[in-house]
């Protein structure tokens, strides 16, 4: 479990194939800020651009850790196999931690595309095209996770191929996450709000006929 509050920005230092065909995944070596791994152990969960991964090896002296990512995860995420790419890092939530963002599972629900990213006053406006399957979960002033960052939706515009959301990024967010490196056309990992997911399920259940009464009970 995560909160969408980035605790460090890492770099994909190396990408190695785990097999000889596309059915195999890859092993990534992630370079981290100094001291980032001081409280990290083997098997810990760290989200990379919003995707929950397991630490498989540690090299604290070099500030490196590795993760193994399957072919399925590579197919369902963006930006996790690009050597030298910057990635947002978040360690798993502890039970006594503050919930500074919103409840984030670390499971990517879909891939969005940056349609616009430009400064507006002291801040930046980020617009993301979300796929049709996620459009119904997006709401004005609702929460969305973009590459692992908990953000607030400022507007939603439904279009034929999904929904375009507009988000305001303050300078702190641009400077302390990898979002500042985005450009129009880039692919990003999206995770919808957990609350929206449960509301959708409850609405679906409410549309179903009531269960038949068992006369034997």
In angstroms, rounded to a whole number, what is the distance separating the alpha carbons of residues 90 and 9? Answer: 9
Domain end among 45, 63, 91:
91
Q: Is position 211 within any domain?
A: no
Stated pTM of the model: 0.91
Q: Is position 210 within any domain?
A: no
Name the domain count of the chain. 2
Q: Helices marked H in 160-193 — which ranges?
A: 171-176
Identify the domain containing residue 161 by its residue range.
110-203
CB 94 within 8 A of CB 48: no
For residue 130, the domain's CATH number is 2.40.30.20
CB 182 within 8 A of CB 114: yes
Considering the domain architecture, whether residues 116 and 196 belong to the same structural domain is answered as yes
Q: Is position 103 within any domain?
A: no
Q: What is the pLDDT along the chain (217 residues), one digit of tens a residue?
A: 999 999 999 999 999 999 999 899 999 999 999 999 999 999 999 999 999 999 999 999 999 999 999 999 999 999 998 999 999 999 999 888 888 889 999 999 999 999 999 999 999 999 999 999 999 999 999 999 999 999 999 999 999 899 999 999 999 999 999 999 999 999 999 999 988 888 888 888 766 666 666 666 5
In angstroms, rounded to a whole number, what is the distance separating the alpha carbons of residues 81 and 30? Answer: 11
Spatial strand order in the sheet of 26-31:
51-54, 45-48, 86-91, 8-17, 26-31, 64-69, 57-59
């Amino acid at each position: 479990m995560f909160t969408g509050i980035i605790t460090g920005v890492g770099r994909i230092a190396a990408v190695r194939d785990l097999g000889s065909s596309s059915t195999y995944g890859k092993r990534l070596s992630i370079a981290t800020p100094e001291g980032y791994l001081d409280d990290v152990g083997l098997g810990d969960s760290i989200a990379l651009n919003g995707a929950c991964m397991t630490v498989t090896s540690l090299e604290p002296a070099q500030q490196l850790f590795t993760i193994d990512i399957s072919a399925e995860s590579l197919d369902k995420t963006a930006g996790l196999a690009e050597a030298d790419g910057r990635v947002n890092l978040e360690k798993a939530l502890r039970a006594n931690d503050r919930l500074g963002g919103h409840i984030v599972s670390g499971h990517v629900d879909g891939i969005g595309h940056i349609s616009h990213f430009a400064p507006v006053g002291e801040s930046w406006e980020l617009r993301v095209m979300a796929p049709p399957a996620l459009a119904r979960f997006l709401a004005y002033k609702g929460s969305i996770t973009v590459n692992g960052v908990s953000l607030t939706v400022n507007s939603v515009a439904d279009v034929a191929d999904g929904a375009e959301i507009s988000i305001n990024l303050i300078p702190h967010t641009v400077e302390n996450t990898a979002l500042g490196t985005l450009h129009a056309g880039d692919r990003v990992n999206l995770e919808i709000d957990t609350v929206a997911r449960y509301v959708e399920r409850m609405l679906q259940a409410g549309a179903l006929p009531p269960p038949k009464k068992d006369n034997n009970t």
